[in-house]
Amino acid sequence: MATLNERIKEMRLKRGYTQLEVAAELGVTSATIQRYESGVIPNIPHKAIVNLAEMFNCLPSYLMGWDDELKEPITIPPILNDVQVAFCGELLSGLDQSDIDMLVMLVKRMKQDHDAVPRKARKKRNHGESEGNTSRTAL
């Protein structure tokens, strides 16, 4: 199993960065990056590991050696920010990219359907529902 220092060097080289470029991104010296890669500094700060993972477009768990498979992190598109609130404030964790893509498509479709109904009709429909008329059209 690869160690953190080996993975840092592996990913730096794979992504085409120099130690100086990585150091500038992290706000440290190139000597510090060299020490990370050689294992001289074994306890790399958490924030540095997170920043390295972002820079290398990988998961921190891969850098740490906890995952052997290099996976790119899943990014939650801004359109889903309100959807996260709908899930009781829980982050949309545990979803893969195809799940995220499906949610984006669903939210966009719902927004299109919502925008297609004139505002006046929405008010009338909502008003009617509050008076006991709860029938809804199936999607």
Kindly report, residue by residue over 81-133, the tens digit of the pLDDT: 555 545 544 555 566 677 777 777 877 787 777 777 776 665 665 555 544 55
What is the domain-level CATH number for residue 37?
Answer: 1.10.260.40
- Domain housing 93: 78-130
101: enclosing H helix or E strand:
helix 97-116
> Is there a single domain that holds both residue 20 and residue 50?
yes
DSSP classification of residue 76: -
Q: What is the pTM of this model?
A: 0.52
> Is there a single domain that holds both residue 10 and residue 59?
yes
How does the average pLDDT of the chain come out, rounded? 76
138 part of a folded domain: no
